[in-house]
Amino acid sequence: MSIPDELASQLACDASQLPRIVLEDAALGAYCRDAITRDDLQRLLGFETGNDLDGLLKQRGIEHGSYRGEDLADDLKTLHRLGIRTTID
């Protein structure tokens, strides 16, 4: 990919950072569209741990993959199936 220097200076501090920035943006976009999983994202971006990935997600303001209402409903079904009563039942 070739980006003119004058545009590159507006996109990043250093043109050598552009490939990483483009990779992150594309990967994060795919993750937010549910095109790839969190594990895929971590592997694609080369993060050793989930905590490392969490740092980038927080920096970018991405909360995708948070505990959702569907997750709660699934957990409640599991507890009910196991015979564990909750105050929500």
Q: Using H for helix, E for strand and C for coil, what is the string for the chain?
A: CCCCHHHHHHHCCCHHHHHHHHHHHHHHHHHHCCCCCHHHHHHHHCCCCHHHHHHHHHHCCCCCCCCCHHHHHHHHHHHHHCCCCCCCC
Range of the domain at 60: 5-81
Residue 39 lies in a domain: yes
* Span 27-74, pLDDT tens digits: 999 998 889 888 999 999 999 998 899 999 999 888 876 666 776 787
Is residue 75, in this structure, part of any structural domain at all? yes
Task: Flag whether 70 is in a domain.
Answer: yes
Q: What is the pLDDT of residue 13?
A: 60
Residue 5's pLDDT band (cuts 50, 70, 90): confident
Structural domains counted in the chain: 1
pLDDT the model gives residue 74: 77
Whether 87 is in a domain gets the answer: no
Residue 37 lies in a domain: yes
Kindly state whether residue 62 falls inside one of the protein's structural domains: yes
pTM beyond 0.85: no
